[in-house]
Amino acid sequence: MGAVATVGLAVTLAIGRPGPIVGALALLGGAYAVILVIDEPPLDGRAAIVGAALLTIGELAHLSVEARPAVTEEAGAAARRIAAVAVLALCALGLGGAVLAVVDVYRTGGIAIEVVGVAAAAGAVGLLVLAAREARAGEERDRVK
């Protein structure tokens, strides 16, 4: 299944059509899911890496297809997009690792799960406060214009 997905992705990139990229990525993810079903690991630590890899493959495949006919308006646009994909992949890897850590803590239970819950609630409130500040600042900029 993984080999079929890889060949499908290669053919998709060769013909330059973005549509089938999603199918190839779904097949790659499905191949990983089949491995998990067969092996039945209690918690697979590679899940964050696989998720970040699938995200990176999809982003770079779309970048490859989109960059063919496009004329870049300024020098370094492709390099900045690749850097953004790298940052996105690292964020996905970190977030996936954090989710795996939380799941592992939840499985073990105890006071650690309470601490993680409080930290998550505080983080959520902090994000809401930042979003509200940004929205207020955007409204003020709109009023000035």
pLDDT at 142: 66
Q: What is residue 58's predicted lDDT score, i.e. its pLDDT?
A: 87
pLDDT for res 79: 80
pLDDT for the residue numbered 73: 60
Residue ranges per structural domain of the chain: 2-108, 109-145
| Rounded CA separation 93/111 (Å) | 26
Q: pTM to 2 decimals?
A: 0.63
Residue 53 to residue 20: CA distance in whole angstroms: 18
Residues of the chain with pLDDT under 50: none
Q: What is the 3-state composition of the chain as percent helix, strand, coil, each rounded to the nearest 5?
A: 85, 0, 15
Are 92 and 51 spatial neighbours (Cβ–Cβ below 8 Å)?
Answer: yes
Q: Looking at residue 66, what is its pLDDT?
A: 78
Per-residue CA distances from 136 to 44, 53, 131, 133, 143 (Å): 42, 37, 9, 5, 11
Contact criterion met (CB below 8 Å) for 88 and 55: yes
What pLDDT, on the 0 to 100 scale, is given for residue 127?
85
pLDDT for res 72: 58
Size (the chain), residues: 145
Query: What is the C-alpha to C-alpha distance for residues 36 and 29, in angstroms, rounded to an integer?
Result: 11
In this prediction, what percent of the chain has a pLDDT beyond 70? 86
Structure tokens at 18: 């973005």
Q: What pLDDT, on a 0 to 100 scale, did the predictor assign at position 9?
A: 84
**C-alpha closest to that of 60 among 12, 95, 98, 97:** 12
